[in-house]
Chains A and B, each alone.
Chain A
Amino acid sequence: MALRLLLLLLVALAPALAHAQAQAQAHPQEGQAAPSLEPPKAVTETTVAYPEHAPAHTQPIVVRVKLRVGADGHVAKVDLLSPPQAVFDDAVLRAAEKFLFLPARYGGKPVPVEITFSHTFLPPPPPPAPTVDGGPPLVSTLRGKLVEKGTRVPVQGATVSVQIGERHYDAPADTRGRFRVAIPSGQARITVHAVGYKAFLQVEKVDEKQELAVAYYVERERYDPYEIVVFGEQRREELSRITLRGAEIKQVPGTFGDPFRVVQTLPGVSSIMSLLPFPVVRGASPGSTGILIDGTRVPMLYHLLAGPSVIHPEFIDEVQFYPGGAPVLYGGYTAGIIDGRTRRSRPDEKLVDIDLNLLQSGALVRYPIEALGMTVTAAARYGYPGGVISLATNALSLAYWDYQLRLDGGNARNGWTLFAFGASDELDTATAGSDPANPTLAPALKMDFHRLDLRAQHGSGKFDASYRLVGGVDQTQQGTGTNMSTLVLEPSTRFRWRWPNLLDIIAGLEGSVHGFNQGGTTTSGTGGTASGASLSTITNDLTTQYMGAALTEALYRPTPDWLIRPGARVDVRHDDSATQTGFDPRLAVRYRLTSPDLPAGVTSASDDKSVWIKAGVGVYHEPPRFALPLPGLDSMPLKYGLLRSIQTSIGLEIPVAEGFTATVEGFYNDMDPVVFDLSTNAQSVVKSAALASPALSSTPQESAQQQFLDRLTVPQVGRSFGVEALIRRQVRNGLYGWLSYTLSLSERKNNGLWVPYDYDRTHLLNLVAGLPLPRNWDVGLRLTYQSGLPATTTYGYNTARGDGYFRMDLRIDKRAVWNKWLLDFYVDLTNATLYPEEVVPGSIIRYVLPTVGFRARL
């Protein structure tokens, strides 16, 4: 009944609010009608004279510089980008300083921009032979096409130079890479020069009156898989959002190219153990952090809990991370938000991507269907880690698969998307009583989920709207016979009104219906743990859970230096056990303190180049969930109450140097109540018991099962506070990465006293660095240190700490270029130094994970 009411409400409201916007919830910028950018135009000659006293050279010399063109059209700064070539560099630098431009315009206003400029110095040819006229008659023709090696796209802006005898004949290639040049007959030495491409040399024999047609593969200097053509200004609209893209999410060592694992290196994020990708964000239980795809919760993000994520990385365009202070667009979580943002395929985009490594194989195909006005992307992967594991044991086997199908129609503002995805994992163990030498394996745990996500966007004028319906099924089967499943239906809609540079108003409605089947039995019971069965005793009464939410917020900019973002959301949840309402008011404020290095004549400053002070406070509610996400075992009965946190933070953003940004933020989170907290440390210990027992902290044993469940369901009070620092370098070329440090404390009240949370780590330090190198090499380094976890001693609960751990990961990527395709090869060494990690006191692991993979892109 409630579902019907909710659907009726959405259907009734949708047409009335038909002027709405695209994807406002999770990607507010996407649907925005960006002001047009007009690049600067040269009004003076931009030639560079060949330098006197230049050293002899036989190959073309390319000098690349970055010009900062001011709002007045003058060149304010020139930086050398290419490797040093002294005399030629000086010539270009001196000449470039005198260039004059019509300034670039953004939204009609002159603005300063940075552009790259290249100049090629051709080697001086031999002294010309004496001639009595203009040279031999041009009786022949050379024509042809230039195609980029590997990608087969036309080479634009190239100059084709033909040398016959001692004379040169030049012709430019058009936008399709085609050229034609009239030449005399004879032996022709042909060179092709284009910015960003290697020098090309070929020899042809051209007969008299012949029109010779040729086709050349020209190789680029570097094939960057994550080329970003334009870095636009990022408007600062969030309190504490970190957005990672490109190589930052796909080439970080130790992540296996998995975008979501990179979040483990950001400020405020610690881990249960280094290989488990469940984040402890600002001292909250992992279940309190939302891990989302385009704003929607995914029931199982990682295969086999610790494997690769269930979405092919090619779908993920960027990862947005909120350690706290998330806007009201995100509801239902009391800690951080990790939102993997997919992107629409371009109408002309074609791609075939095949990857193969030691643990899995997969393929992705993207192809436009012009007749239907849409682009199809389909991907599937199969994982076979059991093959590697079988080298060590024959009593265990693992396998998984996933699939994705995405259809994109229209455009980002007026378009639609269908996204179907799902995954399945299976763990097989030896059946009881089977021969240890040749055991019989049977499923002990199967987890799978499927989702169908339908979205439509519509935008007109100041209004944008998005409509969305997500449906799916989740299931976990245990060998014990427990079968837990959930049917999911989640409609939502968003509206956004924009008054540029003054006010944005966002409103939205969300709903969800989850139907549960907890405790059904399968016929293939073969063993397994009792924890799932015990948890199902908590959830047995859960049949259906409803949620309806309304939200609104404003982004108000009274002046360019202020952003005030108030908002609120109301969530009403109901199941058979209780009805719970959460009201979440939130406020974020930003103020531009200074705008350093502002050129004369420019009165406004970029958000990127300013010093900002920011602060926020907000209330966050969350329904009770199991501490770790499992398909079908996610929601808990509402009778246990809503979790609530009050998050406050204040911080500074400082542009410290070209490409470098520093962020410092202090936070305090009040958590009251906390339910279903992941907590495993023993409450007390005595010496004699310690000596008899293998560890003080332990996985709950059969005898402790009920105690474990009681600890999950009894409400607690918690708090966390600390300081986070991040220095990050984002550049198009060169060294990129970040250094992050967190000093924090997360506590729970125990018997009236504050004690550290079981997964509190005082110091978190991460260094991530990546360096693109010539000839399509990339090298990456990641260093991580996390201090030790609390441990119980004879002096009391969590009165000591275990050892911290250090990890060094390395990654090398190489892109090989074939005529019609590209082959990526990578080596990833996780924990290359085999530094030990104390998982719990008394239990130390030491490992290294070498991964070798290939990826072909056609």
Chain B
Amino acid sequence: MKLRLLILLTIALPRLALAAPLPTEVTPTDVVVDPPVTPTETDELLPFKLSLPTEEDAAAWQQPGFRLQMGTGFGILSGIDGTPGSKNVPILVRIGARLDHDWSLFGSFQFAVAGWRKNGDLSGLRFAGTIDPTWHITDHLDVAAGFGFGGLVEGATGRSDPNAEQRASLVASYTFPSARTPMVACSGVGVAGLLRATYMWVLGPLSATGFAAQADGQWTACVENVGRVEPDTAQSIVRRQWWSNAGGSLTWLISWR
């Protein structure tokens, strides 16, 4: 059986390395190759040294490459035209790349845990995923504008349902004409946008930290599942309502490269 191999041979590298003197020298070089070095007892006790820096930290952060940012802070999401709102605790994950000295491109995922102080407030999880072109105005300051999807998943809200009878008798899905009487619990996805300014300090060649101030807007197609299906089609019977929210947040970020 004849074979044809496609093999990556890193084991061959040392042989090639021996065959090919890696550095290309153009100056007089005194190469001294002694017999194998015999370690002494004290060699085993030698303190190890790391390399001296070969690049300024700030310069390294301006190099193109992968970036990850994670952060948390405090936020507010207000309702528009009757839609509920509340304070929240956002958790931010941003994944992206520094493109050049002036620009980065990030994908942001924000998950905000919204609590309620009184019945009727927005309660549950607000989430958003946006694509954020980012302009680095200075070495520390950048601004970004993002657009993408956003949504809400509400839990126990304490809101009453003025349309309870309608809910019990629905035989097909229904869309509310407005959000002035909010649904008991909203779960749905819509569109989201943001504007953000971030100020960062470089901690080292691989990490940085800073703060971000962000303004958010979101339009959510809320869906409330009544727990029944249309018997002829097996499609879930739901009630829908459009919610509009706007707000902002202040977050503390850690960034890695």
Residue numbers of A with Cβ under 8 A of B are: 37, 39-42, 45-50, 59-60, 66, 104, 106-107, 109, 111-122, 124-125, 128, 134-135, 138, 143-145, 147, 149, 156-157, 159, 161, 166-172, 174, 176, 178-182, 193, 195, 198-203, 213-219, 229-233, 500-502, 557, 560, 595, 598, 602-606, 608-609, 685-687, 690-691, 693-696, 732, 773-775, 777, 779, 791-795, 800-803, 810, 812, 814, 819, 827, 829, 832-836, 838, 841-844, 846-848, 850
Contacts and interface: CB of A to CB of B under 8 A. Distances in A.
Greatest chain A CB density within 10 A among B1, B36, B42, B48 is at B48
Interface string B221-257: 0010101110111111100000000000000000011
A301 B117 CA distance: 43
23 contacts: A39-B9, A111-B5, A113-B6, A114-B9, A117-B13, A118-B13, A120-B24, A134-B28, A178-B39, A180-B34, A198-B51, A213-B40, A216-B48, A604-B3, A696-B229, A696-B234, A775-B65, A812-B68, A819-B50, A833-B129, A833-B149, A841-B236, A843-B225
A791 B190 CA distance: 28
Contacts of A791: 229, 234
Given A118-B22, A193-B23, A203-B52, A792 B3 contact: no
Contacts of B91: 850
A95 B228 CA distance: 73
A841 B127 contact: no
Contacts of B228: 690-691, 693-695, 842
B164 interface: no
A848 B27 contact: no
Contacts of A195: 13, 17, 22
A215 B37 CA distance: 13
Contact of B4 (A145, A202, A605, A836): A605
B28 A128 contact: yes
A215 B171 CA distance: 79
B10 A120 contact: no
A835 to B, nearest CB: 7
Contact of B232 (A37, A501, A795, A836): A795
A792 B233 CA distance: 8
Contacts of B189: 833-835
B47 interface: yes
A732 B13 CA distance: 15
B59 interface: no
Contact of A113 (B7, B32, B47, B231): B7
Given A112-B5, A834-B153, A217 B43 contact: no
B6 to A, nearest CB: 6
Nearest to A219: B51
Given A695-B227, A792-B234, A838-B236, A156 B6 contact: no
B78 interface: no
A170 B236 contact: no
Closest 6 interchain pairs by CB?
A: A604-B2, A501-B1, A791-B234, A46-B20, A690-B231, A39-B12
Given A50-B24, A230-B10, A109 B3 contact: yes
A111 to B, nearest CB: 5
Nearest to A170: B31
A814 B22 contact: no
A145 to B, nearest CB: 7
B27 A842 contact: no
Given A144-B46, A848-B127, A843 B187 contact: no
Given A113-B7, A609-B6, A691-B231, A50 B32 contact: no
B208 interface: no
B138 interface: no
Contact of A606 (B3, B32, B257): B3
B5 A172 contact: no
Interface residues of B, number: 80
Contacts of A143: 37
B125 interface: yes
Contacts of A501: 1
B10 A686 contact: no
Contacts of A116: 8-10, 13
Nearest to A690: B231
A231 B19 contact: no
Greatest chain B CB density within 10 A among A39, A199, A810, A848 is at A39
B20 A690 contact: no
Contact of A46 (B19, B51, B109): B19
B231 A794 contact: yes
B234 A800 contact: yes
A125 B27 contact: yes
A48 B26 CA distance: 12
A501 B17 CA distance: 35
Contacts of A217: 48-51
Contacts of A109: 2-3
B37 A115 contact: no
Nearest to A42: B19
A694 B236 CA distance: 10
Greatest chain A CB density within 10 A among B7, B11, B26, B93 is at B7
B231 A687 contact: yes
Contacts of B49: 202, 214-217
B176 interface: no
B44 to A, nearest CB: 9
B9 to A, nearest CB: 5
Greatest chain A CB density within 10 A among B23, B189, B225 is at B23
Interface string B173-192: 00000000000000101000
A109 B2 CA distance: 8
B27 A128 contact: yes
Given A104-B9, A203-B52, A812-B68, A843 B24 contact: no
Contact of B231 (A66, A121, A172, A685): A685
B215 interface: no
B37 to A, nearest CB: 4
A158 to B, nearest CB: 9
A595 B6 CA distance: 13
A169 B25 CA distance: 11
Contacts of A693: 228
Contacts of A810: 95, 109
Contacts of B23: 60, 120-122, 159, 161, 170, 193
Contact of B7 (A218, A232, A696, A794): A232
Contacts of B223: 836, 844
Contacts of A167: 27-28, 30
A168 B43 contact: no
A605 B3 CA distance: 6
A42 B19 CA distance: 7
A691 B237 CA distance: 11
A793 B68 contact: no
B129 A39 contact: no
A551 to B, nearest CB: 25
Contacts of B153: 834, 846-847
Nearest to B2: A604
Contacts of A39: 9, 11-12, 15
Given A118-B17, A216-B50, A773-B66, 19 more contacts: A37-B9, A39-B9, A112-B5, A115-B13, A118-B22, A124-B27, A134-B30, A161-B23, A169-B31, A181-B34, A219-B51, A502-B1, A606-B6, A685-B231, A696-B229, A802-B236, A832-B109, A844-B223, A848-B125
Contact of B20 (A119, A182, A229): A119
A181 B32 CA distance: 6
A696 to B, nearest CB: 6
Nearest to B109: A832
A516 B152 CA distance: 50
A793 B231 contact: yes
A106 B5 contact: yes
B137 interface: no
Given A199-B51, A773-B66, A111 B4 contact: yes
B16 interface: yes
A774 B67 CA distance: 11
B147 interface: no
